[in-house]
Amino acid sequence: MRKYELLCILKTGMDTEKVDQAIDNIQKAVENTGGKVFSADKIGRKKLAYDIQKSRDAFYVNFELEIPQEKIVSFKRTLKLDENVLRNMLTLQKKKVAVASK
């Protein structure tokens, strides 16, 4: 399995319980694909550069997770169908290479 970083932009207008529920739904979607969530960092509410679905601001959450490579497409589809997720960006975490200095 590979490690990924997922940035999700969630709708505003939700109270803290609904935001936590949306984060739990994303974590359950990862677990349903056979993956693991290592961390879920709530970045907070930020102003958007442009309106998305008539929203001027949104709630940002950053996940560090591990998903089997063959399940990525179905996981992205699950995120796209989630009504609380405005946008998402899934990136592969590259392995850190130690550089020896002289």
Assign residue 18 the CATH number of its domain. 3.30.70.60
Decide if pLDDT at 96 tops 80: no
Decide if pLDDT at 5 tops 80: yes
pLDDT tier at 13 (50, 70, 90 boundaries)? confident
In this structure, is residue 100 part of a structural domain? Answer: no
| Number of structural domains the chain divides into | 1
User: CA 56, 41, 61 angle in degrees (round to 5)?
Assistant: 30
What are 69-95's pLDDT values in tens digits? 999 999 999 999 999 999 999 999 887
In this structure, is residue 67 part of a structural domain? Answer: yes
The whole-number pLDDT of residue 102 equals: 66
Asked if residue 84 lies in contact with residue 61, where contact means CB atoms within 8 angstroms, the answer is: no
In this structure, is residue 97 part of a structural domain? Answer: no
Which structural domain range is residue 15 located in?
2-92
In this structure, is residue 72 part of a structural domain? Answer: yes
In this structure, is residue 98 part of a structural domain? Answer: no
In this structure, is residue 101 part of a structural domain? Answer: no
- The upper half-sphere exposure of residue 74, i.e. CA atoms within 13 Å in the direction of its Cβ, equals 12
